[in-house]
Structure 1
Amino acid sequence: MRIGCPKEIKNHEYRVGLTPESARELVQHGHEVWIEAGAGSGIDATDQQYRTAGARIVEGPEAIFAECEMVVKVKEPQAGERAMLREGQILYTYLHLAPDPDQTRDLVDSGVTAIAYETVTGPGGSLPLLKPMSQVAGRMSVQAGATALEKAQGGRGVLLGGVPGVLPGRVVVIGGGVVGFNAAQMAVGLGADVTILDRDPEVLERLGIHFESRAKTRFSNVANLQDAVCGADLVIGAVLIPGAAAPKLVTREMLGDMQKGAVLVDVAIDQGGCFETSRATTHADPTYVVDGVVHYCVANMPGAVARTSTYALNNVTLPHALRIADLGWREALRANPHLAAGLNVHAGEVVYEAVAQELGYVFRPVGEVLG
């Protein structure tokens, strides 16, 4: 199979879909790998390193989209990239379609077979291709929030860890999954006063056992959420419903009761955000203020630490890429129901139920597609 990896073009996105090491693995399996010139520059991977791995370097993305059977990326294809997708081509990347009707429409119209990293499953309902980026984003959310809390950045001027004789900052983490756990770990490590909210008693019990007295847990209902948020210096939104739009848990009304200069970091922004006042921002202009509350809603947070993120991502995406290339997408998905859960769009139809429901498409089950 001919596999192409274009350079990412989203604002301040420095990751790359294939490392030189991943390209080598694909080549050793007998596949042809095309890499756009400069695609690896954000992780200090040179074109020569890709050539040494056996890949072909091509100028510009046009040849990749025109001639490669599978396109491997990191972020969702931007409008110009979507215009180059073609019927029968395999797109393997993060998509986050539920809050993005324009992208969904373009993928449907293109006839592409689109496999989304974020909905590929693992044992016990885990999301192994999303997990490493959730770990990165969870840890980054605290350092981003700590920076936004500085007075010069519009924040309250609070140091999360405090100093002797001065109370530490109060951090509220909404959601106790991978993002929330990693955010709480970082906040606890800084010495902050940390509270984690979740609706799953088993999650709360697990968090309580892990953190002991270093972090508090609360059941997430409207009353507890409002009470926690209104007293917080930093609120981290870490809610996920796989493949679906995130619920709006913090309302505009709640902002009026929050402390001026408090910070909201919405890690769920890829799925539309879990704060009512969230809108996607970029690393170039990461924050904005609503009712005196600073919002940090960067939609590709892990792109800022591109080298760490790219290698962590390739560790989990490469095995499936090899299966797709070795067997063909249909046989690979038939053989692995976890990979089959990643199929979101195929031949003009939406085949992921949460996306179809959110955006009003007729849903076709994956089983019917695979025959």
Structure 2
Amino acid sequence: MSTPAPGLLEALGQSDAFLAFMEQVAAAARVNRPALLVGERGTGKELAATRLHFHSPRWEAPLVTVNLAALPRTLLEAELFGHEAGAFTGAARRRPGRFEAADGGTLFLDELQAAPRAVQEKLLRVLEYGTFERLGASDTLQVDVRVVAAVNVDPRELIRRGRLLPDLLDRLAFAVLPVPPLRHRHGDIPYLAARFAARFAAELGRDLPPSFAPAALATLAAHAWPGNIRELKNVVERAVFETPGPQITHVTLDPFAHPFAPATPLAITPAPPLSGGPGGMIPPGGEVQERQRLSWPPEASSSSSPSSLLPWSQATAAFETDLLGRALARSGGNQRRAAEVLGLTYHQFRGLYRKYAPALAARPGHP
């Protein structure tokens, strides 16, 4: 399936983390090598893949996207590489695959970890030699395709769990592009909220979009956004729909937490998450080991009274400042090493450092 022109798919943002990522994407786009996008759900990996294609020398050729998790595992090989008539039950005629459709252009493989091992081995061969056979055929086909893949889990963890071939990761890792989550894109939430509100208000036929009251913006800023940009867009559009007036004073983060919900939660025990939060990345070495290594989060007194609690925004600021300060102390003031300790990119760390610079400077022993 082809993708619309780049003007129809716009990546939005103005934070340091977002702009640094866009620079990485633009640099990688110019090089005719595979690329791997690593990011949580809802961060815009498909938009980044689209940008990679349209900023590359292949921009006039096809861009074909495939969500591997959305296809039955038994049909993935035929979907990607095509099949001959009679190759399997129901294959009444020859059908070219997605690699043939993307010849000369770019093939974006989302949720790469969903591909079975046999399909990954065949992908590796295409990446190495540009050749493959349709299912049920013996003739070898040659294609010229740039592969851009995406995962929403640390790929090293996928290798440890046996869900990704090490050789395939090595071949894709020419350009590894970590997509910043929304919580690291400081300053982008009000900007994105205003853009999404304006678009949806226009879609509803309203003359002017509603503005956000300070309390509503504070609610948006304090949320962790496990669903990232996709979740923010849904929350903002819901707020616009529910607000007939000129100003949004309240946003509903959880549409299921309403007054008619049962007082006692249903007895459902969810499976333990694979990461630090819904949709979050799994840190190398495992979440527990990483938290123990950083002594994170700081222990809180169990005897604290409700009156001693800080407002959410102040508590979050104190928590992040404490993490930054201890990481700087451990790294002797070296900000790049401190960023590595916290599992952040340097640009993400710099954004946080500038945000909390006065509080960090007031810490005892600040390097």
Q: What TM-score, normalized to structure 2?
A: 0.28
- Bigger-Rg structure (1/2): 2
Higher strand share: 1
Q: What TM-score, normalized to structure 1?
A: 0.28
